[in-house]
Structure 1
Amino acid sequence: MPWGEFKDTAAERRLFQRRALVMLVLVILALGGLLGRMYQLQIVEHETYTTLSDKNRVQVQSVAPPRGLIYDRNGELLAENRPVFSVTIVPERVDGMDDTLSRLQSIIDVSEDDLQRFDRRLHEPRRPYQEIPLRYDLTEKEIAQLAVRRQDLPGVEVRAELVRYYPHSVLTSHVLGYVGRINREELQSIDPVNYSGTNYIGKSGIEKFYEESLHGKVGYQHVETNARGRILRVLERQNPVPGDDLRLTLDLRMQKKAYELLDGRRGAIVAIEPKTGGILALASVPGFDTNKFVTGISVDDYRELRESLDKPLFNRALRGQYPPGSTLKPMLAVAALDSGAVTRNTRIWDPGYFQLNDGGRRYRDWKRWGHGWVDLRKAIAESCDTYFYTAAVDMGVDTMSSYLSRFGFGENATLDVYGALSGLLPSREWKQANRNQPWYPGDSVNLGIGQGFMLATPLQLATATALIANRGKWVEPRLLMQVTGDDTTDEVLPPTTHEPLKLKRPEDWEYVVESMAAVMESVHGTGHRAAQGASYRMAGKSGTAQVYSLEENEEYNADEIRERLRDHALFIGFAPVKDPKIVVAAIVENGGSGSGTAAPVVRAMFDAWLLKYSKDAPASHNPEPASAEETH
């Protein structure tokens, strides 16, 4: 049978057509789906995928603002920013951290301290993709060596950043403080947006108190990066707002003078301008190099500072709490006069000791044979302990605590001095709460000469002395003079809170001031030798604070006592007597006599300001003699 009789050509054609139609429909559906997906990706979701694409090559980086500069009252730069090159690592972009660190050690010098600091920061909470510095202050040779190996070190970059630098680091260590790396606790409290590009924050002093003003506002930039995260170009940039520059009341020349006068001896000097409360000098000796703390101090250097017997990290001017000794007597004299415990004519007989009752303990006067008949002016001029023993018992603790608190004792009465302690102003309630004992008359006796429980800082003594110099007008101590570019500091400085100390008889201020002048002018005044040859009148008061207590019949002999157990030497004063321009409080630890050791220091500070550095200082170093009224 012929082959053609078995083949149905028409049926095959129909079958082929059906199959071709099905395939055409499938192709059309597939093309439609593909076109629809392309429309969705390129039209409907264009913005979404453009953003995702840009994220692979474009990053938003924070730009840290330049920190504000700090100047003294004369425009001398105290804190600046200098560019430093450092090698940093972004852990998220590193394949193997140990291998990367080993390779870096083979290229540049990386110390064990650097590695320890890096490891500590690596395990601290931080922002994602935040660079961690490994080593600072690279040399040009080290920068070049890292540039050559750049492609072999993913996640490793050489960054230039502005780092805080203190040109007079030791001189200003305790007043300016310093900045350092942001730690874990600070990271929880700061504004994460404004500090997103910042690695440093104020740790103490002015740097901490005015952190908000000094920091500025963060900026940002859009950068294009390659697959390794390296920046190819900057696409867009919004510049940061630099921090405010601060001008302080501090006078660097007076600060240097204070350090020179202490001459390496442990102690503190605080000088204040009484009319404004501006702090002219705030010196605590010894100081330390604040620049070592900025990028991270080494373990050995920090251990040396911490274990030093001289305690260079301790701010004696603000945090040194000492018995004020006889420097408290002018304030107690104001209290005694105003409360009526004594009058200007009140006289006592001083046999060299005081007794609360016959046969009781003898509280000795520093002059063992006594001062004879003494009134209040003579008691201040010659520092008669017996007179103030008597006045203290007559006043009682409640009256003394009340008046002393109005002089700023027992509180931090400053406006912007960070870290100042409050000292200790004892009271009947304080002793009951802290010692579980009542207040005894003997406690009042000790308080009458600034001993016993009473503690005060040098800054508090200067503040209280300024109140006497101002005849009761309160001007809180401050360090800020001006925020550069602003005419006022009212928005930056805290508000004042102290009311003037008004006496029932305002003329009592002049009586106490003249009594303090007698300390310097009277032949038997405790500051007489320090005041000799002065061309202006000054007022002052010496003080000697015991480091350890003597037995009732034991005599003090400095030659037989270890140096660190000897008495502290204190002196407070202001000058000129009329229209005072400067107030100074000084303490020399274990210096012995306040009149012999601390008084010459205060006199030298007076001379420096009144005769040399003040805007009112005469052109010549030999000014005209004081008028008859001034020298009386």
Structure 2
Amino acid sequence: MTIREDYHMNRKRNVFIGLITCALLITTVFFVFNQGKSNEQVVKEYFGFLNDRNYKQMYQMLDQKTVYTPTQKYFVKKHKEIYDVIDAKNIQIKVLNEKDNIIKYQISMDTIAGKIKYKNKIGIKDEKIQFNKELIFDEFSDKNKIKVTTIQPFRGYILDRNGKYLAKQGNGYSVGLVRGKLNGENDYSKIAEYLETDIETIQNKMNASWINDDSFVPIKNISEQRKDKLIQHGILKIGGVKINSISSRIYPYDKITSHLVGYVQNVNSKDLKKHKNEGYTSSSVIGKSGIEAAYERQLRGEVGARIDIVDENNNIVKTVAEREAKDGKDIRLTIDIDLQQSLYNEYQNDKSASVALNPKTGEVLALVSTPSYSSNDFVLGLSTDKWNELNNDVNQPLMSCYKQTYTPGSTMKPITAAIGLETKTIDPNKDLRAKDKWQKDSSWGNYYVTTLHAPSPNNLKNAITYSDNVYFARSALNIGKENLFNYYKNLKIGEKIPFELALNKSQYINKNQKVSDQLIADSGYGQGQILMNPLQLASIYSAFVNNGSIYQPHIVQGQTKTWIKNVFSKETTKIIKEDLINAIADENGTGHSIYHDSVTLAGKTGTAEIKQNQSDTTGTELGWFTVMTTDSQQSILMTTVVEDVKNRGGSGYVVEHTKKPLDLYLSK
């Protein structure tokens, strides 16, 4: 054999050996990776699909010879009826032992009624589940079913600072019909007229499948006052009409607190979807606005639940899990309802917002919006006509005015003054020389800043006392855009106001707006593009009696904390406070009509013009007034803004209507 032949023989042998080795390797790999799943793996995979509520995949893992139903659709439906309803999640499987392809395991899960844990067993054959009905649920059978009962907690009350009820459970009334005593449908139109509803609504309710001849079918809930009127007008003379008493959420102060406290209503389909698996049912109520909505979780409490296995007669076979309901917590507000009521009475015929707070703590003592609506009407159910009336009212009674922002006018002047003192751009003793109208230079064309009061000497004290527009326009330009805007930011103007109820953000400039000298000058006396929320304005004024710091405004007790620390120096706030005292003490001061001999008050009026341009004479005016005590044990700061005060006294109108509420509070 030649060397060449030997080489070829060895090469063929090596190739052959390589092929055999490769085949053995492939066989080994195939064996290793295809030896199949263990029974424990199969069980955990099956219940993993249950945890994910992937019922279709569960069905695919069943040994079809053992399945109790021929269709996947029925299997899925049955599991949904149980696991979706009990809100099963965090399903955990622990295998206890295995013998003869029978796995004993322990299953646990969290549910609407608490944790459920039990032991069971399952057969495995060829990686398929040997189905039995107890795999659906422990002790489950064809004749049994799962029943979930929710237990609604008692809703907490809402109280004012002195323990007076602003929202509580009380008595309402349900007007309904008893079909067996009706004179057919002939009286439906008359009943619909009485209840301010329509015939179709009544027909739909009376056609429900559950109704028997002696069933009481509720049509509309009403107040006691409404009930008395309906009886007086003869509704009970119609055959089949009946009035039952019911438990209902009631608001003793109604319109006085509606924008603040809000109201509850029966949940709708949107609520049920949003709060799925939180225990709400079609008969539940939920906070829709105000404190009722903001503190829904605390007021509502925790829903209780019980999961039972029941037989075909609805008898309990076994209670699987049970969790007690926890009643809601009462919410005690910082509101003084007497002050709230007094402010409401003064402005109920105006479009206005009033804020009263304790400047030393940030506690909101009153928060009023007028005109208002009835919270009780919303609880008991509004008629379509009443709803349309409220929505179409030009005075917008459904709008919470204290949430809005307004042009602050002259109430911004003390803030401009404080910024000027802080930046050393205002000398409080310097006489700028009074001017009735003023412009920076001829580049302003026909635009002038004008004032009704040009005091002499034209210093800071007189400018605040007599509310001189020109002084603060000139001062704003001296302060400059950078200083002015930096301090607006320090005061959180333009940021979200930290408060339990949503408030619109204040602003000092429109986004992407070109800043001109004219705009800066107008900002100095509260015009320009400045918009202020009444609560934020009141909070900023509190710095003048707190050595320059501002407490965070809050309406629920127990939340006192500093919001903005040392935004102004003690020296600055002392000067501004004394000038604000003079604005009331001086006989010619703009707020003098509220002067008190026994209490030192500080305050500032403001009349903001709402018009298209300087020559517009058809615009409206906003009237502002902020007043605060400076040395009284009864610390209070009140800010009110009233729309459309033109030809009604301007800000003077607000000063006059602030007297009574302030006197009431100080007399306590």
Structure 1-normalised TM-score?
0.70
Q: 1:110-125 maps to which residues of 2 (within 5 A)?
A: 113=197
Structure 1 residue 179, shift from structure 2 partner: 1.4
Q: 1:60-99 maps to which residues of 2 (within 5 A)?
A: 60-82=148-170
**Matched residue of 1:136: which SS?**
strand
Q: How has the CA–CA distance of structure 1 residues 380 and 223 changed in structure 2, closer, same or farther, with 3 Å as cutoff?
A: same
Q: 1:552-631 maps to which residues of 2 (within 5 A)?
A: 552=615, 565-577=619-631, 581-592=635-646, 593-612=649-668
User: 2:552 — aligned with what?
Assistant: 476
Amino acid across the alignment from 2:258: S
| Residue 506 (structure 2) pairs with residue 423 (structure 1) | yes
Separation in structure 1 between the aligned mates of residue 311 and residue 174 of structure 2, nearest angstrom:
22
Separation in structure 2 between the aligned mates of residue 59 and residue 474 of structure 1, nearest angstrom:
55
| Contact 1:262-1:285 within 8 A present in 2 as well | yes
Matching residue within 447, 451, 462 for 2:523: 447
| Contact 1:181-1:296 within 8 A present in 2 as well | no
| Contact 2:156-2:327 within 8 A present in 1 as well | yes
Amino acid across the alignment from 1:590: D
User: 2:123 — aligned with what?
Assistant: none
Separation in structure 2 between the aligned mates of residue 197 and residue 160 of structure 1, nearest angstrom:
20
User: 2:481 — aligned with what?
Assistant: 397
Amino acid across the alignment from 1:440: S
Amino acid across the alignment from 1:311: Q
User: 1:181 — aligned with what?
Assistant: 266
User: 1:25 — aligned with what?
Assistant: none
Structure 1 residue 499, shift from structure 2 partner: 3.1
| Contact 1:540-1:574 within 8 A present in 2 as well | yes
Structure 1 residue 517, shift from structure 2 partner: 0.4
**Matched residue of 1:509: which SS?**
helix
Structure 1 residue 51, shift from structure 2 partner: 5.3
Separation in structure 2 between the aligned mates of residue 575 and residue 116 of structure 1, nearest angstrom:
59
User: 1:350 — aligned with what?
Assistant: 434
**Matched residue of 1:350: which SS?**
coil
Separation in structure 2 between the aligned mates of residue 177 and residue 81 of structure 1, nearest angstrom:
15
Deviations 1:466-487 (A, max 9, x none): 2222222221111111xxxxxx
Indicate the RMSD between aligned Cα atoms, in angstroms. 4.2
Amino acid across the alignment from 1:603: K
User: 2:539 — aligned with what?
Assistant: 463
Q: 1:486-525 maps to which residues of 2 (within 5 A)?
A: 489=558, 498-503=563-568, 505-525=569-589
Separation in structure 1 between the aligned mates of residue 505 and residue 373 of structure 2, nearest angstrom:
24
User: 1:40 — aligned with what?
Assistant: none
Equivalent pairs counted in the alignment come to 506
User: 2:250 — aligned with what?
Assistant: 165
| Contact 2:166-2:252 within 8 A present in 1 as well | yes
Structure 2-normalised TM-score?
0.67
| Residue 415 (structure 2) pairs with residue 325 (structure 1) | no
Q: How has the CA–CA distance of structure 1 residues 225 and 171 changed in structure 2, closer, same or farther, with 3 Å as cutoff?
A: farther
Amino acid across the alignment from 2:461: R
| Contact 1:574-1:580 within 8 A present in 2 as well | no
Separation in structure 1 between the aligned mates of residue 584 and residue 480 of structure 2, nearest angstrom:
30
Amino acid across the alignment from 1:202: G
| Contact 1:334-1:512 within 8 A present in 2 as well | yes
Q: How has the CA–CA distance of structure 1 residues 345 and 215 changed in structure 2, closer, same or farther, with 3 Å as cutoff?
A: same
User: 1:621 — aligned with what?
Assistant: none
Separation in structure 2 between the aligned mates of residue 106 and residue 179 of structure 1, nearest angstrom:
29
User: 1:213 — aligned with what?
Assistant: 298
Deviations 1:10-63 (A, max 9, x none): xxxxxxxxxxxxxxxxxxxxxxxxxxxxxxxxxx979967655343xx843212
Amino acid across the alignment from 1:546: E
Would you tell me which structure has more strand in proportion to its own residues? 2
Separation in structure 1 between the aligned mates of residue 292 and residue 555 of structure 2, nearest angstrom:
12
| Contact 1:274-1:581 within 8 A present in 2 as well | yes
| Residue 614 (structure 2) pairs with residue 551 (structure 1) | yes
Structure 1 residue 203, shift from structure 2 partner: 1.3
5+ unaligned residues in a row in structure 2: which ranges? 1-131, 207-216
Separation in structure 2 between the aligned mates of residue 497 and residue 133 of structure 1, nearest angstrom:
51
**Matched residue of 1:75: which SS?**
coil
| Contact 2:582-2:602 within 8 A present in 1 as well | yes
5+ unaligned residues in a row in structure 1: which ranges? 1-43, 90-99, 123-131, 149-157, 482-488, 613-632
Q: How has the CA–CA distance of structure 1 residues 176 and 170 changed in structure 2, closer, same or farther, with 3 Å as cutoff?
A: same
| Contact 1:408-1:463 within 8 A present in 2 as well | no
Separation in structure 2 between the aligned mates of residue 117 and residue 412 of structure 1, nearest angstrom:
43
Q: 1:361-376 maps to which residues of 2 (within 5 A)?
A: 361-367=446-452, 370-376=454-460
